[in-house]
Structure 1
Amino acid sequence: IEVTANHHAVMTGSDGAKARFIHRQTMANAMRFTTTELAELETKIANAADRALNIELAAFDALTAEAVGEAEKIRAGADALAVLDVSAALALLSESEAWCRPVVDSSLAFEIAGGRHPVVEQALRRSGDGPFVANDCDLSPEGSAKNGAIWLLTGPNMGGKSTFLRQNALIAILAQTGSFVPATSAHIGVVDRLFSRVGASDDLARGRSTFMVEMVETAAILNQAGERALVILDEIGRGTATFDGLSIAWAAVEYLHEKNRCRAIFATHFHEMTSLAGKLARLSNVTMRVKEWENDVVFLHEVGKGAADRSYGVQVARLAGLPEAVVDRAKEVLHQLEEGEVSGKTNRLVDDLPLFSVAVKREASKPVKSDVLGAALGEINPDEMTPREALEALYRLKGLAGT
């Protein structure tokens, strides 16, 4: 209780007031007092917080004990809700995205018609970049063959090879979880293992390079894949020298065909490997189609039979925004390297390529029409010009010449 200095006598003027009001503090213009009742109330409030906490802890312990006693029922209910949640979500997605019911049996079939990548399809729709291009995939045994097929997939960078690989792996997983799949139709023989080697990752902390990680993962696939496995391999051998990488990729495909005898899709930029189709009965060449239009490349994102003969890496570099001088220089080097490869002079090409030619090239000046410059010269009569007029005419001609 706080009172002004003028009224403090009310609190201290009598024995009864002194017994009731206990002086606590004196300030310049006021005095503060408390009472026995207020002190008791303060103690009750302080103790109430502790009692409330104890009551809350006791209630929580009782609730926990009761929940533990019903743990099995709660777990069963959570599992049922999880199944219901996933089933409802997949059903809604299947209905809205026109997914189909796959046929899953004990055969070695893998026949997908109009397959799509569900995530990329949604991303394209949201960004407004156009519809997703659906593609077929058939790795089923052909004719009297007892084992599934291998597709050797070639094509340009940004052509859609990695998306095609991933979408078929996702379709296999969705089908065996009991879901509808993003395709027009699907017939899949049970896949006991799904192996994939896609992308690149370093493990520098453990002293493993990108190529080392790639080889370790490839070794695991070749050592474990059986005839019921589905193997997805993306550009094996790209992390080392060209001939080393080509040799490893070549041998890996032969091993998949002869030893593992599994269904597989093998994407590569080593176009030399397409000749394996004539030697391995279950291997087929497929490619991502492109269309060249006015020195540019249009990616169709369609998978068709055949083999690509180019990777269009320079065109992709141009799309990525590399300086025109770098792109032009790359075209020159590529042309000379290709000529050297055909003529067998590849080893001498490095000495024949001029160094730093990109630095000495200058942008060509725009040509000036000769008739414009000639007309300007024809209008000049040197005998009638003053020195000032002659100098102005010279600057004007220099401007027309563009120098």
Structure 2
Amino acid sequence: MAAYTPMIQQYLRVKAEYEDAFLFFRLGDFYEMFFDDAIKASQELEITLTSREGGTEERIPMCGVPYHAAPNYIEQLVERGYKVAICEQTEDPKQAKGVVRREVVQLITPGTMMEGKVLHDKENNYIASITHFEDDTFGFAYNDLSTGETKVSLLSSGFDEVLNELSVSGAKELVVESSFNEEWKRKIKERSVMTFSFEDDCSPMDQYHHLLEEVNQDKLRQTIARLFNYLYRTQKRSLDHLQKGTIYQPHHYLKIDYFSKRNLELTETIRSKGKKGSLLWLLDETQTAMGGRLLKQWVDRPLVNEDEIISRQKLVETFINAYFEREELREKLKEVYDLERLAGRVAFGNVNARDLVQLRRSLLQIPELKDLLKNLSSAEAETLSERLDPCEEIVDLLESAIMDNPPLSIKDGNMIKDGYHEELDKYRDATRNGKTWIALLEKQEREKTGIKSLKVGYNRVFGYYIEVTKANLHLLQEGQYERKQTLTNAERFVTPELKEKEALILQAEEKSIELEYELFTAVREHVKEFIPRLQSLAKSVSALDVLQCFATVSEKRHYVKPVFSKEHRIMIKDGRHPVVEKVMNAQEYVPNDCYMDAEREVLLITGPNMSGKSTYMRQIALTAILAQIGCYVPASEAVLPIFDQVFTRIGAADDLISGQSTFMVEMLEAKNAIVNATQNSLILFDEIGRGTSTYDGMSLAQAIIEYIHHRIGAKTLFSTHYHELTVLEEELTRVKNVHVSAIEQNGKVVFLHKIKEGAADKSYGIHVAQLAELPEELINRANEILTRFEQQDEQINSVKEKEFSNAAKSNTQLSFFEDQSEVKESAFSSKEKSVISKVKTLDILEMTPMQALNTLYELHKKLKG
């Protein structure tokens, strides 16, 4: 260390405290990076890598970015999951003795971004924390620093529940203790790209103690404290916009696990990982950024409380029945700025005058929104109207203080209105009058000298001057002006009077700009006092926005209000998949019914590939989710239970990160449903068992159906190509066969996409291959092989039936339904005894007829030797 120059030593000392971050080290007008930071930054940001002397023989790698362009570079790094520590000069260089003192003033991370392109308007930017306690419970908290929202919960169902909550929050950064379990870290990284940060202190600090008033459990207070301590330590400023921590219980919402959320494409699609094509994309008719974020929260966490759902439904119905008022509401909402994030920026100190103008315009819409809601003659709308606080005091302040079109910068003046502050008005008057005097001076001097091109100008280096071209210098009298500057084609002069006026104007301008900045800061601090009211208003406006959005979508797409069944009955008439219907022409979409009750709990769905089995299953789940967020549903009539959980196993995908095959992923998702589902859950299983051999797969599929039927009792839709399973309808009382119909025309399959009662007669797999335009030679060969397999199958079944019939007549045939203890073993050979031993382990009555027949046939062959 001693070998380096004092400045590099200072850099290394600071860097040692921020080893996991890029250190932006301020040197003059640049942020510089050295050593490994410089090498990596030059690659990530595509900037030039240079070097400098640092006191040793080897030159130090170095790169830098201009301070005014730094925000763009910081955004790029943070978007890629990195952290950036901003190190500023904290001492006046003129007063420094030796190296100017520098300190990190802020650590910017993926979870603490306050502005920029990384922060999407309609998405929260959460940072989360996990605290593990000795009794194997977990505290889970998450916060959006840009809005101040903080929520916390105590989870007691193992680390899988933690993973699920983490995936629902969509947090980009996770704060844990430094000794956090490595296996848990690995599991988290398998699910998402996560930036890890560490904070060992989980003792609440005095400055935010008031934010924990509603959190009365010590474990939860520690969990929030870990998160808040990290935020205060890294942001190094007052965080007055942080809202009180609120406790939430996961079981108060419809549980949709990570796999199911992905399979149902609730907020993003599987292929593109983007919003377009998801349920959220379909629903988003919100007019404000706040409403967009709340909509996503509601989609992520549907309700299970019927009263709360119906409360939302009533407002949706009110808005549907008031088209013109709803359209006016939508127009007014368009003018409402992002109040939540604006409040955060006010507290953070990075709000500008234009933001405050947007705030004023937003608040001016509130009285009109209140009046519109009052005119709807609805108790729910009246209640919502009362919650809209117009914050008149802020409006009055901003009306009198801030200009209508201020500049972006808050340090260049022209922000504060005339008449707001007497002293500022005096400075402005002096500046304006001085400039008027300058204009008159130019006119007078032109007349006096006869030089029409004479002008009075100004630049920052030389101040005000009188400029005369060299061609006109002969027109000046000796000593008329005092020479100030010589140019190629002109001379510049001053007069004692011009010097005096210049001093007056520049002094007034300088003092005016300084005073404006002070006044703006005071206005901003005054607005800061209203942050809690602004945040409360934002919540009400957001809810209003989402509910009008539901009404708009429901009316536009002809949805109906669902009714909830206490008997856990499903009755959907003309149901549609909301997203597929929107993507297709609505007239081309084939609607389908669904009926399930206590006698009809498992629907076994058969039918060709591409016929719509998966779409049908998904639409049932999406209809339930839409109903439980308070929206209307895509059907002509709908009666639904309120589900507690939704589980899906749809589609095939390898998990490359964890090295798991498609079949293993399938089994894990199936296990998750089977272990956690209740009789109030909804299960969707699509093609379970297709990733292994036919007999293995069929056995697993049947065992799963039987387990759900006997042990769980959940409403289940199970699609399959194993036609052998359709016999389960005869053996399991609550299993019913339905199929997606298709017909053959001229050797080609036509999909009708209509769900009908009963089982499908064939799968039409080769027809689908033909639709995919595989080579004709290949298709013909496949048909030949299929015909041969079908003939062989018929022959085998014929032989089995004949031999089984003969064996039944044999004196040596063992009756499988008698008490085995009555059989005298001495009557049998050793080979026959081994068969008897095998038979004793079987339970024929628990088998399907086909399984029993196959078993008996194999035993009979063994007896024959």
TM-score bracket for this pair, using the shorter chain length: 0.7 to 0.9
Structure-1 separation of matches of 2:654 and 2:504: 65
2:648 aligned with 1:210, yes or no?
no
Runs of 4+ displaced beyond 6 Å: 42-47
- State the Cα distance separating 1:41 from its structure 2 match: 5.5
Change in 2 beyond 3 A, CA 1:16/1:178: closer
Match of 2:726 among 274, 277, 291: 274
Equivalent residue number for residue 149 of structure 1: 601
Aligned counterparts of 2:771 and 2:539: Cα–Cα separation in 1 = 49
> How far 1:58 moved relative to its partner?
5.8
Q: Which residue is 2:485 aligned to?
A: 23
**Contact 1:107 1:190 (8 Å CA) reproduced:** no
Separation in structure 2 between the aligned mates of residue 235 and residue 297 of structure 1, nearest angstrom: 21
CA–CA separation in structure 2 for the residues paired with 1:263 and 1:257: 9
Q: CA RMSD in A?
A: 3.1
Offset at residue 152 of structure 1 (A): 0.6
- Tell me if the contact between 2:562 and 2:633 (Cα under 8 Å) persists in the aligned partners: yes
Contact 2:602 2:715 in 1 (8 A): yes
1:334-368 Cα shifts (integer Å, max 9, x gaps): 223333333349xxxxxxxxxxxxxxxxxxxxxxx
Task: Output aligned runs, 1:217-256, within 5 Å.
Answer: 217-256=669-708
Amino acid paired to 1:236: I
Q: Could you say which residue in structure 2 is the equivalent of 1:139? A: 596
- 1:100 maps to which residue? 560
- CA shift in 2, pair 1:81/1:307, >3 Å: same
Name the CA distance, whole Å, in 1 between partners of 2:598 and 2:515.
71
Change (3 A) 1:53 1:208: farther
- 2:574 match: secondary structure: strand
Distance 1:217 1:274 in 2: 23
Given the alignment, which residue of 83, 97, 112 partners 2:543? 83
Q: Alpha carbons of 1:52 and 1:316: their partners in 2 closer, same or farther (altered >3 Å)?
A: farther
The alignment status of 1:308 with 2:760, answered yes or no, reads: yes
Match of 1:165 in 2: 617
The answer to whether the Cα contact below 8 Å between 2:470 and 2:491 also exists between their aligned partners in 1 is no
What letter is aligned with 2:520?
A
Identity, in percent, stands at 37
Distance 2:573 2:787 in 1: 39
* Separation of aligned partners in 1, 2:666 and 2:504: 71
1:282-293 aligned at under 5 Å gives the runs 282-293=734-745
Q: Distance in 2 between matches of 1:174 and 1:342?
A: 48
The change in CA–CA distance for 1:197 and 1:59 in structure 2 (over 3 A counts) is: farther
CA distance in 2 between partners of 1:326 and 1:50 (Å): 87
**Deviation per residue, 1:296-336 (Å, 9 max, x gap):** 11111111111123221211122122222222222223223
Aligned to 2:783: 331
Q: Which residue of 2 aligns with 1:190?
A: 642
Contact 1:257-1:280 at 8 Å conserved across structures: yes
Residues 108 and 188, structure 1, Cα contact 8 Å, conserved in 2: yes
Report the Cα offset of residue 56 of structure 1: 5.4
Q: 2:523 aligns with which of 62, 72, 75?
A: 62
Q: Which moved more, 1:323-332 or 1:41-50?
A: 41-50
Q: Distance in 2 between matches of 1:157 and 1:47?
A: 80
The offset of 1:251, in angstroms, is 1.6
Report the Cα offset of residue 212 of structure 1: 2.0
- In structure 1, the partner of 2:492 is 33
How has the CA–CA distance of structure 1 residues 60 and 322 changed in structure 2, closer, same or farther, with 3 Å as cutoff? farther
The one-letter amino acid of 1:110's match is: I
CA distance in 2, matches of 1:189, 1:202: 34
- Conserved 8 A contact 1:139-1:264: no
Tell me the distance in 2 between the aligned counterparts of 1:343 and 1:317.
Answer: 27
Q: Give the deviation of 1:288 after TM superposition.
A: 0.2
CA distance in 1, matches of 2:605, 2:632: 26
Given that 1:285 and 1:307 are in contact with CA atoms closer than 8 Å, whether structure 2 keeps it comes out as: yes
Other structure's SS at 2:753 match: strand
Aligned-partner residue type, residue 62 of structure 1: V
Q: Distance in 2 between matches of 1:247 and 1:50?
A: 86
User: Aligned pair in 2 of structure 1 residues 62, 296: CA closer, same or farther (>3 Å)?
Assistant: same
Q: Residue in 2 aligned with 1:340? A: 792
Q: How far is 1:15 from its partner?
A: 4.3
Match of 1:286, SS?
A: strand
Find 1:112's aligned residue among 546, 564, 572. Answer: 572
TM-score (norm 2): 0.35
Do the aligned partners of residues 67 and 198 (structure 1) sit closer, same or farther apart at CA in structure 2, a change above 3 Å counting?
farther
Number of residues paired by the alignment? 330
CA contact (8 A) 2:570 2:596 kept: yes
Q: What does the per-residue CA deviation read over 1:250-292, in whole Å, with 9 as the maximum and x for residues that have no partner?
A: 2211111111111110111222211221221111111000111
Cα distance in 1 for partners of 2:644, 2:607 equals 29
Gaps of 5+ in 2: 1-465, 798-865
Q: Which amino acid aligns with 2:662?
A: T
Aligned mates of 2:505, 2:790 — CA distance in 1 = 93
Structure 1 residue 230, shift from structure 2 partner: 0.8
Higher relative contact order (CA 8 A, sep 6+): 1
2:483, 2:491 within 8 Å by CA — same for their partners in 1? no
Structure 2 contact 569–598 (Cα < 8 Å) conserved = yes
Structure 1 position 218, deviation (Å) = 1.1
- Tell whether 2:613 aligns with 1:125: no
For residues 340 and 39 of structure 1, the distance between their equivalents in structure 2, rounded to whole angstroms, comes to 112
> What amino acid does structure 2 have at the position aligned with 1:305?
E
How far off is 1:219 after superposition? Answer: 0.8
CA contact (8 A) 2:567 2:641 kept: yes
3-state SS of the aligned residue for 2:749? Answer: strand
The aligned counterpart of 2:341 is: none
Q: Deviations over 1:2-53 (max 9, x none)?
A: 6554545667x84453xx221334x3xx244354758985997799599758
